[in-house]
Amino acid sequence: MPASNASAPSTEIYREKIWPAWWLWILVVGTGFAGMAMFLPVNLGLSIVVGIVVFLAVGIIMLASTPTISLTDEWLKVGRASIERKFIGDVSSFHGDEASLERGRRLNGTAFLCLRGWVDPVVKMEVIDPNDATPYWLASTRRPEELVHALQQTARG
C-alpha cells in the first residue's frame, strides 16, 4: 500500500473568542428602543416590530463581528487574518497603561490590528517574514499570558 503524503491535521493549541462585553448588550437593547421610539408616533404595532428588528440586526452584527484567536502548530489566525506560525517572532503581552501606549503612541501605522475597546490587555506578535511589510500584529485578548505561552511553546516545538 503506498504511503500517504497527507499530513495529519494540526490540533488547536489555543482558542479564544473575544466576546462583546456585557455592557455592550445594554447599548444593543437601547438601540432597539430608539428604533421603536422613532416609529411610536406613527403606529404602536409598527414601532414594536421596528424595535425588535433593530435589536436583532444590531445583535447579529455584533456577534458576527466577534473575532476568534486560534493557534495551531502551523497557523495563527486572528479574526479573518492568518499567518504561518513560522513567521511569528518575539511575542509580548501588555496591560493597563502599557497596553494603552501600544494601542496609541507606540503604534506603528503598518501593523495588523485586531483590537476591541472593551478588552484592555493586548499581545504584540513580531512578524519575521522578509516578504511581509507588516512589522507586527497587535491583538486584544482576555488571556494574554496564556496566548504568549502558547506562542512560545509552538516556537520551540
What's the pLDDT tens digit per position in 99-146? 999 999 999 999 999 999 999 999 999 999 999 999 999 999 999 999
CA gap 79, 112 in Å, rounded: 11
Q: Rounded to two decimals, what is the model's pTM?
A: 0.83
Our measurement of the distance from residue 150's CA atom to the centroid of its chain's CA atoms, rounded to an integer in Å, reads: 17
**What pLDDT, in 10s, does the model give residues 3-22?**
444 455 678 999 999 999 99
Q: Which residue reads 504511503 in cell numbers?
A: 3
Alpha carbon distance 94, 111 (integer Å): 16
148 contacts 92 by C-beta, under 8 angstroms: yes
d(CA 65, CA 80): 10
Residue 60: phi and psi, rounded to 5, are: -65, -45
